[in-house]
Structure 1
Amino acid sequence: MPLDETAEGVYAIAPTPFHPDGRIDHDSVDRMTDAYVAAGCTGITVLGIMGEAPKLEPAESLEIAGRIIRRAGLPIVVGVSSPGFAAMRSLARGVMEMGAAGVMIAPPPSLRTDDQIVTYFRQAVEAIGDDIPWVLQDYPLTLSVVMTPAVIRRIVMDSPSCRMLKHEDWPGLEKISALRGFQKDGSLRPLSILCGNGGLFLDFEMERGADGAMTGYAFPEMLVDVVRLQKAGERDAAHDLFDAHLPLVRYEQQQGVGLAVRKYVMHRRGILTSDAQRTPAGKLTPAAKAEVDYLLSRVARVDRRAAVG
C-alpha cells in the first residue's frame, strides 16, 4: 500500500513500548497496533520523534517497524531521519522491503536558509532513492527549522516522490490555507496534508483544508471522530467532542513530559504494560499523575472511552 497524495484520516504516531528495564515490550507493541486498528486509524507512523527513535539500535528499529507492518494491515509510515544519509538510506530501504507505505524525513536543526533546506531534502531523496514515497515533516517548534509555504512548495515540486506534508507549525493555520491556495492557482501539485502537535489545533486545521491528523494523542478514537465529523460537515459535533478532550490534549503537549503523559494514559487504558521510557527521559511525579487522572475523569463525563480502569 504505497503512500500517495490521497492519504487522509488519522495516522497514529506510535510510541515505542518498553519494559522498565529498557527492553522492548513486544506484547505491548502488538496490543498497541491492535488498538490503533480498532480505533479506526487509517495508518500508523512508527519511529517518529515521540517513538524515541534515537534511543533504538538499528536492528531494533527494523524489528519494531517490521512487527507493526506485518500485524496492522494498514499503511505504515516509518520515520527515517538520521544525522547521516547512509543510515537513512539503510533504514528506508529496509522498511520498504518489509512492506512500509513510505518514510518520513525531518530536517536537521542546523539548517537555516531556504536554499539549505531545499538542498538538504534534494540530497536526502537522492540518498534513499526517488522510488520511495516520503513525508516532509515540518516541526519548527522542536526542530527549529522554519519552512515557509513557498519553501515547502519548492521541496514538493522538486521531488515527485514527496506525497505528504506532516504539518506541525504553530501557529500554522495560515500555512495550510496558503498551501491549498497554491494548489488552486496551479503552482503546487496535489499533496496530502496531515497535522501533528498532538491534535491541539485539529478542529480548525480540518476546516482550513487538512486531510486529517498524523499525531499521537492517547485517544486516537477522538481524532478519528473529529476528522470524520468535519468531513461530514458536522462542525458543532466535531468541536464539542474536541473541546471535551482539549484539557488533556493540552496537558499532553507539555515539553519534556508529553511522552510520559501519553504513555501513562495508554498504560491506564491497558494498551501498554508499562509507561516506561528509555533513558534519558522525563518522568511524571505522583502529583502529575493525579492531575492526569483528574483530567481523565472529566473527559469521561462526555466521552465514556476515557473511563479507564
Structure 2
Amino acid sequence: MNQPMNYKGVIPAITTPFHEDLSVDFDFLKNHIRWMLGHGCTGITALGSLGESATLSFQEKVEILKACVEAAGDAPVVAGIAALSTREAVQLAQAAEEVGCRGLMVLPPYVYSSDWAEMKHHMSSVIEATSLSCMLYNNPIAYRTDFLPEQMLELAEKHENLHAVKESSADVRRVSSIRALLKDRLTLLVGVDDLLVEGVSAGATGWIAGLVNAFPEESVRLYNLSMAGKWDEARALYEWFLPLLRLDTVVKFVQYIKFVQEEVGMGSARVRPPRLELNPEEAAYARGLLKTALENRPSLLVES
C-alpha cells in the first residue's frame, strides 16, 4: 500500500491546452506545469472538470498523464478519474498508476446519478483498483451526487488508501461538518476558488485551484497567508483576487479561465466542443475584470 500523499498546498486543476486542430498541445502542457510548480504549487491535478476530461479519449487521457508525470519531476501528479462506466473508471485508475501518478481524484460517474448503494459501489471499485492514495471529489452542483459526511466516513472506514476529499459543494458549513465527523482522517481541500479563505478557516488544508493556471504566485501567497492565520493580509489579497476567482464558479468556467490564461500570455482560449469560446460580450466582461485586476495587482512580499 502506497503512503498517503501530501495533499496540502496549492494543487492546480490544470487546463488541457489544444492546438488549432484541437489536438492536445503536450509541449505547452509540460511548460505550463513547470511554470506553476516553479511558483510554489505543490502538485498537479489533471483530467478534472477544468481539464475538459469528458471531451478526451481514453488514450489521450493516458498520454496527458504521462506528460504530466514527466514534467512534474518529484512533484506528485493526481489523476482525475471520471467515466461513464465503472469499468472504464477502473481501467483509467490502473493506467494512472502504471504511468507514475501518485494519487487519484475519484469522481462519481458522468451522467448517471443514483442512490448511495450504487455510488458507494462505484467509488469503492475505483479506490480498490490500485494502491494509490485517493481523494474523493464531492461536487454536487456539477455532478448531482452529494457525498454526505457520513458517507465519506463509510468510505474512509472501508478503504485505507482514501486520504482526502476535494469539497466543492460551495458551502463552507460542509467543511466544518466533515471536520467534526472525520477529525483528521481525511485531508480537506477547497475545490472552488472563491471559498479558499473561508475553507481554510474552517479546517481545510489544501486547495485544488483554477485561476492558479494564470496567477500561480498570487494563489500560493493567498493560501500561505490563510494557513498562517494572517487574516488581514489574506483579506486584502483575497478582495483583489475575488472578481477573478468567481469565474471558477460559473457554467463557462473552463472558457473563462482559459481566456484569462491567454490574456496573460500563458495559454490559449481554445476549448473542445460542445464548449465554444466566449462570445464578444462575455470576452469583454472577462477582459474588463482582468484589466482592473492587473492595474491594481498587488506587490507580493517575499515570505520569511
Q: Could you say which residue in structure 2 is the equivalent of 1:302?
A: 296
> Partner letter of residue 195 of structure 1?
V
Corresponding residue SS for 2:278: coil
Structure 1: where are the runs of 5+ without partners?
none
Higher relative contact order (CA 8 A, sep 6+): 1
For 1:13-92, list aligned pairs within 5 A: 13-73=13-73, 74-92=75-93
Does residue 182 (structure 1) correspond to residue 161 (structure 2)? The answer is no
Give the whole-Å Cα distance in 2 for the aligned partners of 1:26 and 1:152. 35
Q: Could you say which residue in structure 2 is the equivalent of 1:271?
A: 266
**1:18/1:181 CA distance change after superposition, 3 Å:** same
TM-score of the superposed pair, with normalisation by structure 1: 0.89
Give the whole-Å Cα distance in 1 for the aligned partners of 2:147 and 2:89. 21
CA contact (8 A) 1:4 1:164 kept: no
CA contact (8 A) 2:237 2:298 kept: no
Q: Could you say which residue in structure 2 is the equivalent of 1:204?
A: 198
- C-alpha displacement at 1:243, in angstroms? 0.9
- When the two structures are aligned, how many residues end up with a matched partner? 295
> Partner letter of residue 274 of structure 2?
P
- C-alpha displacement at 1:242, in angstroms? 1.0
- C-alpha displacement at 1:3, in angstroms? 6.5
Moved over 6 A (4+): none
For 1:113-142, what per-residue CA distance to the aligned partner results, in whole angstroms no more than 9, with x for missing partners? 33333233223334x23x222110000000
- C-alpha displacement at 1:303, in angstroms? 2.0
> Partner letter of residue 232 of structure 2?
D
> Partner letter of residue 219 of structure 1?
F
- C-alpha displacement at 1:102, in angstroms? 1.0
- C-alpha displacement at 1:170, in angstroms? 2.3
TM-score of the superposed pair, with normalisation by structure 2: 0.90
CA contact (8 A) 2:105 2:135 kept: yes
The range that moved more, 294-303 or 200-209, is 294-303
Structure 2: where are the runs of 5+ without partners?
300-304
Q: Could you say which residue in structure 1 is the equivalent of 2:139?
A: 139
Give the whole-Å Cα distance in 1 for the aligned partners of 2:65 and 2:38. 19
Q: Could you say which residue in structure 1 is the equivalent of 2:114?
A: 112
For 1:152-231, list aligned pairs within 5 A: 152-171=152-171, 173-184=172-183, 190-197=185-192, 199-217=193-211, 218-231=214-227
> Partner letter of residue 112 of structure 1?
S
Give the whole-Å Cα distance in 1 for the aligned partners of 2:277 and 2:222. 30
Identity %: 27
Give the whole-Å Cα distance in 2 for the aligned partners of 1:209 and 1:183. 12
- C-alpha displacement at 1:252, in angstroms? 4.0
- C-alpha displacement at 1:219, in angstroms? 1.9
> Partner letter of residue 117 of structure 1?
M
Corresponding residue SS for 1:145: coil
- C-alpha displacement at 1:6, in angstroms? 4.3
Q: Could you say which residue in structure 1 is the equivalent of 2:256?
A: 261
> Partner letter of residue 195 of structure 2?
F
Corresponding residue SS for 1:201: helix
> Partner letter of residue 293 of structure 2?
V
For 1:186-213, what per-residue CA distance to the aligned partner results, in whole angstroms no more than 9, with x for missing partners? xxx521111112x111111000000120
